[in-house]
Structure formats: structure tokens, C-alpha cells
Amino acid sequence: MNVQTTGPRTIDVSPGRVEASHICVENLTIAYGALTALSDVTLSIPPGRITALIGPSGCGKTSLLTCLNRLIDLIPGARVTGRILVRDTDVLGRDADLLRLRKRVGMVFQKPNPFPFSIRRNFDIVLSEFGVRRRADREARIDECLRAVGLQAEIGHRLDMSACALSGGQQQRLCIARALATRPEILLLDEPCSALDPMSTMTIERLLLKLKDSITLVIVTHNLSQARRIADRCALFWTRCGTGYLLEHGTMADLSERPQNQVTDDYLNGRVA
Amino acid sequence: MRRSLRPFVNDLVVRAAVAAVVFVLAAIVVHVVTRGAALVSWDFLTTAPRAAGRAGGIAPVLVSTAAVTAVALAAALPLAVGAAVFLVEAVRPHTVAARLTRGCLGVLAAVPSIVFGLAGNMIFCDWLGFGFSILAGGLTLALMILPIAACVAETTLRMHGEDRRAGYALGLPQRRIVWSIMLPAAAPGIFAGLGLGFGRAVAESAALIFTSGYVVRMPDSVFDSGRTMAVHILDLAMNVPGGDGNAFATATVLLVSVAAVVALFTALDGKQGREFV
């Protein structure tokens, strides 16, 4: 599918080359009221790759993810300090255009959440808002998005049925297709397969591997096998006194074979929970 | 209590509670319907009362009831939805504005209907000059329905928090999320809340005596006075010797109407909620 991205594809994505980052997180701290959920995270996420955020529950992975598209603004009492750059856009800036940012940085949630309307309406709401007014153009874009997630053959002929009547795996792929309708350059995925059966999980993993050619993907997962199967890079988060922090990050191969921390080695090999 | 007895006692308490609820409803329905059903006929529904309601039918009373409840629901719907959207979308949960709005709705819910009647008489009949009219009665009832309708609407909108979050994650503006996603998704629940409100409105008498009046003629417009079924029942039972039969017949029609409308709104409500197949 035709997804507009602006960055070069063949660039050095080593951690030291900040200019090669698609997303650059600097000294990010997130707090909910008096509780600091994530402390002083600095991380660069390269374009056209799958970056997995892993770690035990409560270490701030999802909080970090929701900062990248400022969805954290919806949570009362959340405070964020530090800096996040998506290309040249200062995400946390006072004058950040949130609607434009979220159009560029799509998100898929743990639980499939299609709108409780028809499949077609799920797309029409998004497309009509973003200026795709002609019916023929909308049909073409729906077809394009459904093809990208492998749903065209399954549901392309019954677009007027309720999206909630689809299976869990189909609903999640529909949500990915709906997120692709805005032609994002980054897609954030918060444990997208945790509620799905192994077959649906495999389908979505294949889909993500295909999508990474055109979109930068950031995925939160508790499934280490999944991270090994699909991720190019990995960031391991840990907790200290209830506060999350970034323990180690690098390529998946680096973390698996040459971990810098004993905890990383133990966690990736299933020796600690 | 011995551990082995607990499930048995719990089960007994739950069954007794269910039986009590069913018994009270059944007793009322049987008491009313057995005395009134025989008098309900097509003529009863389509003719005007005669002899102060002892004879004849309830045609103008039915029309007045429909008009008063229609005005009440039409006025309550935008107010309730507006209040619910305000609480869900416009203000943070613990701000002064949110607390004040919830507090006002809570106080409104606790106000006795006779006080609503006096306030409605003062505001709508006197200050706004509507006089004793269906409009004044309907607007008074709208204020009575408002707390429950707003509360149900807010709860239903919050049930669709995931749709709201998905909308924001897609970069949709707030107006689009409210109008195109949350309100259509929550519509069945909102109408269920109105259904509950309808039950209260159609059964109300005290507030209407001071606002819509109790003349039994066929109303010409919403600015005309009119007598609702509940007021008609009250009048026949309290002021008209020999009016008991028609009072029970009117009560039967009222019960059937309420049951039909509640069933309709419940059926609508049952259509909401997502299915994960």
C-alpha cells in the first residue's frame, strides 16, 4: 500500500546517530499525581524498523507509548517532562498540533476497539474528516487498507455488516486497517495480540513485518517470543521502587546475545518474571 | 455461621428478594387489571368522559398525556445529553464545574414532585406566561426527568470510553468524536434513560395539577390546559363518587402504556454493547 513517509530507508540506525532517529525521546519522565511511572528515559527509535518495548507490568511501557502521540493528555493528573521529537516535530511542545500529530502517529490498542457501527462506517468517519469526500475515493481507500491487512478477501464484500460481528483477530486487523487509513508514518501497537489466538497472532505478526517497509512500528509486548520473531530493536524497561526506567536497549540480537546487564540476560531467558 | 450453610443462606436471601420484587409488581398489576380490564374497550379509548368521568372514555386524557410526555421528553433529551457530554468531554472529573453540575442533578433528583409543581407554576405558568398548559406541564416534567436521564446518558457515554480513545488516537477532533462516534454509539442507552424518565413523567400527578391543570376537554394546542391519565385517576379516585371503575380502567391503560414503552426502550438498549464472537 502507498504510505507516505519522508525519511530515507538506508541509513545508519545505530543508537549514537540521533539524526537518524524517526522518534527521539530525551530525558522523559512521566508521573500520575505523586507517582512517578517512568523516569528519565532517553531512547531513539529508527525509521522503517520494528522496535519492541518489553519489561514487566507497571514499568511504564504503555505510558511511554501514549506520550508519543500525546494520548496521555486524556488521563487526568498525568504530567510529562522531557522532550520527544518525531522527525522535527516537538511532540510535547505547547503549540504542538495534536490532531496532525495523531494522524501521523497511529495507534492500535490491546483490546480490539472497532466503532460499534458497520465496517464501512468505521472508515468513513475517519476518511471524511481527513478530506476524502468523494464516495469512489473512500471506497478505493477502504479497499487499499483492507488489502494491506489481508482482510479484503474475507470481508471486502460485506462492508455493511457490523464491525463488532467480526472475530477478535479480524477486529484487530480492522483496527490496524482503520489506523492505516490516515496514512501514518508511525504506528504504535500496545500488546496488539494479547487477546488473540495463535493463528490470529501469526497473521498480525506477518502483517507487521510487511508494514515495516513503509511505516515505523513501535510495539509493546509481554510475549518475548513475539519480540524475537518480529522486532529489529528492543528496549527493556525495569522498575526500581515502583518507578520504571529504561534498563537497556539495542538490536534484538545485541540484547539476546550480548546483554549489558545480568537482569536483561535473565529476563530474556525467562529466569525472572 | 457454618461455612457449609453460607451458600444456602445467600441463595435464599437472593431468591426472597427477587420474589418480593415480583410479588409487589404482580400484586399491583393484578389488583388494577382485574378491576379495570373489563371496562377498557375501543369506545373507552376514543370517546370523551361524561358525568365527571364516571361514564364515557378517556380520549382527551390520552391525547393530553401523550402531548405532555412528548414535550417533557423532547425538552429533557437535549438537556440530559448536553449535561452528560459536558461531564464526559468538557470538564475534568473533580473540577468545581463537574462537582457543581453533579450536585445540581443530585438535588434535582431528590426534590419532591409537589415542589416541582410549585416551581413549575411559578416559572412556566407565571414568569414565562404559559399559564396552565401542556407546555408548562411538559417542561416541569422535563426538569424532573433530567437527573435520571442525564445520569444514564453519562454512564452510557463513559461505557464507550474505548471508542472515544480510539477516536482521539485517529486524530479526530472532539466534535467529530462526540457527534459521529459517542452519541450514535450511546444512543440506545440514552433512550433507555429517557424510557425510565417516561415512566416517571407519565405517572406524575402532583407536579401537573399546578402546571398543566386538570380540565378534561380535548386540547387544541400545547398552550391549552389538559388532564393526564395520572391526574384523571387521582381525580376519579378522590373527588368523584362512583368513579372507581373508570379509575381502574384508566390505570390499566396507563400500566399497559408504561409497560409497552419500557419494553420498547429496553429492546433498543439490548441492541447496544459489542459482541466479541
| Prediction ipTM score | 0.89
Q: Give me the residues of B, 94-153, that contact A with CB < 8 A.
A: 94
Q: Which residues contact B11 (CB under 8 A, 6 or more apart)?
A: none
Whether B270 has its CB under 8 Å from any CB of chain A: the answer is: no
Check B185 against A107: CB less than 8 A apart. no
Q: For all residues of chain B together, what is the average pLDDT?
A: 90
Check B272 against A116: CB less than 8 A apart. yes
**Nearest CA of chain A to the CA of B86: how many Å?**
15
Q: For all residues of chain A together, what is the average pLDDT?
A: 89
Residues A17-63 have pLDDT tens digits of 344 678 999 999 999 999 999 999 999 999 999 999 999 999 999 99
pLDDT at A212 over 80: yes
Check B171 against A102: CB less than 8 A apart. yes
Contacts of A114 in chain B (CB under 8 A): 274
Check A164 against B275: CB less than 8 A apart. yes
Check B276 against A116: CB less than 8 A apart. no
Whether A132 has its CB under 8 Å from any CB of chain B: the answer is: no
Name the residue facing B166 among A99, A113, A164 (closest C-beta).
A113
Contacts of B275 in chain A (CB under 8 A): 164-165
Distances (CA, A) of B83 to A104, B91, B191: 33, 11, 15
| Percentage of the residues of chain B whose pLDDT score is greater than 90 | 71
pLDDT at B46 over 80: yes
Confidence of residue B4 (pLDDT cuts 50, 70, 90): confident
The one-letter amino acid code at B120 reads G
Whether B43 has its CB under 8 Å from any CB of chain A: the answer is: no
Check A182 against B162: CB less than 8 A apart. no
Confidence of residue B261 (pLDDT cuts 50, 70, 90): confident
Residues B100-146 have pLDDT tens digits of 998 999 999 899 999 999 999 999 999 999 999 999 999 999 999 99
Sign of torsion, CA A159 B176 A214 A221?
Answer: negative
Give the per-residue pLDDT at A225: 92
Higher pLDDT pick, B7 / A229: A229
Whether A109 has its CB under 8 Å from any CB of chain B: the answer is: yes
CB B218 within 8 A of CB B234: no
Q: DSSP code of B173?
A: -
Q: DSSP code of A231?
A: -
The one-letter amino acid code at B6 reads R
Q: Backbone dihedral region of A150: left (phi > 0), alpha (psi from -120 to 50 degrees) or beta? A: left
Least confident range from A118-122, A268-272, B243-247: namely A268-272
pLDDT at A188 over 70: yes
Check A102 against B170: CB less than 8 A apart. yes
Q: Which residues contact A37 (CB under 8 A, 6 or more apart)?
A: A30, A31, A60, A63, A243, A244
The pTM of this model reads 0.84
Give the per-residue pLDDT at A16: 40
Cell of A130: 481527513
d(CA A243, CA A236): 14
Whether B176 has its CB under 8 Å from any CB of chain A: the answer is: yes
Whether B90 has its CB under 8 Å from any CB of chain A: the answer is: no
CA nearest neighbour of B72 among B80, B60, B61, B84 = B80
Among A115, A120, A174, the residue to mutate for chain B (most B Cβ within 10 A): A115
d(CA A137, CA B148): 44
Confidence of residue B7 (pLDDT cuts 50, 70, 90): confident
Give the per-residue pLDDT at B165: 95
**Nearest CA of chain B to the CA of A162: how many Å?**
9
pLDDT at A5 over 70: no
Give the per-residue pLDDT at B270: 62
Q: What are phi and psi of A160, to 5 degrees?
A: -90, 0
Neighbours of A254 (CB within 10 A): 16
Higher pLDDT pick, B72 / A6: B72
pLDDT at A4 over 60: no
Residues B84-99 have pLDDT tens digits of 999 999 888 788 999 9
Check B185 against A164: CB less than 8 A apart. no
Give the per-residue pLDDT at A263: 93
CB A215 within 8 A of CB A107: no
Give the per-residue pLDDT at A273: 53
Check B274 against A164: CB less than 8 A apart. yes
Q: Which residue of A has its CA nearest to B275?
A: A164
Confidence of residue B203 (pLDDT cuts 50, 70, 90): confident
Contacts of A167 in chain B (CB under 8 A): 277
Q: Which residue of A has its CA nearest to B166?
A: A113
Confidence of residue B251 (pLDDT cuts 50, 70, 90): very high
Number of residues written out for chain B: 277
Whether A129 has its CB under 8 Å from any CB of chain B: the answer is: yes
Contacts of B92 in chain A (CB under 8 A): 76
Helices (H), A113-223: 119-129, 135-148, 152-155, 168-180, 198-211
CA nearest neighbour of B185 among B75, B264, B106, B88 = B88
Give the per-residue pLDDT at B277: 29
pLDDT at A220 over 60: yes
Q: Quick one: average pLDDT of A117-142?
A: 94
Give the per-residue pLDDT at A10: 31
d(CA B148, CA B121): 22
Whether B170 has its CB under 8 Å from any CB of chain A: the answer is: yes
Confidence of residue B42 (pLDDT cuts 50, 70, 90): very high
Whether A125 has its CB under 8 Å from any CB of chain B: the answer is: yes
Give the per-residue pLDDT at B195: 85
A–B CB contacts, 8 A cutoff, strictly below? 77
pLDDT at B1 over 60: no
Residues B149-161 have pLDDT tens digits of 999 999 999 999 9
